[in-house]
Structure 1
Amino acid sequence: MVAGQESDSQADRVFHALADPTRRDIVTRVVQRELSVSALAESYAMSFAAVQKHVVVLERASLVVKERRGREQIVHGNVETVRTATRLLQSYEELWRCRTEAISTILLDAVLAEDVRA
């Protein structure tokens, strides 16, 4: 998910999907336990079709997997995709941590150099 056009495209789909609060809530629910699309739809003040569209966005991002069981469509979370997104965010955090440490070192060196001159 870090390098390459296909990986970037996947990361874009994941973060686009997670940008919506309803979709984040759906992911939270189905990671805890699998639910039918009908059961999910009962939890929201929107139509069944609207919930189904949210599930499709999540499915395209590989955040959820949908399978048919009889007449129901069962949705469960894809924890590996969530972990991959977490690793990507952690790599950004590490990058910024290193940059802030470097800035702190530069500033400290400047202060110490000023103290030596004074």
Structure 2
Amino acid sequence: MFVVAAALVDQKNNILVQQRPEGKPMAGLWEFPGGKVEAGETPEDALIRELDEELGLVVKTKALSPVAFASEPLGSKHLLLLLYTCHEWTGQAVNLEAAAMQWLPVQELKHLDMPPADQPLVEQLLVAL
């Protein structure tokens, strides 16, 4: 399973995280916004689509910078997660799909309950930002 996510970084260097809603696998865990890459999409196109669907944000490809990846078994599948940083977008983030969302300093992400694939990405973000 090929998945993309964004570490949206605001002017105060806070990162946006979302809480997975009830009824979805890993409900209640915090994660970076993003989702599955569909057939025919580039990772960047998929992330731009997901950020619009989940948060109502308009992001341009040039605003996405690849920063880290994670590889994690997920039941009978295997997850490959690409994380991008993004400092520029148009619009105000609106929680359209998640149970909750919050902006946090990157150091505080270490204390959140996150899916296994997201946890090593936090450590890589600490180095990158």
**TM-score, normalization: structure 2?**
0.23
More strand by share: 2
Q: With a CA cutoff of 8 Å and minimum separation of 6, indicate the structure with the bigger relative contact order.
A: 2
More helix by share: 1
Q: Which of structures 1 and 2 has the bigger CA Rg?
A: 1
**TM-score, normalization: structure 1?**
0.24
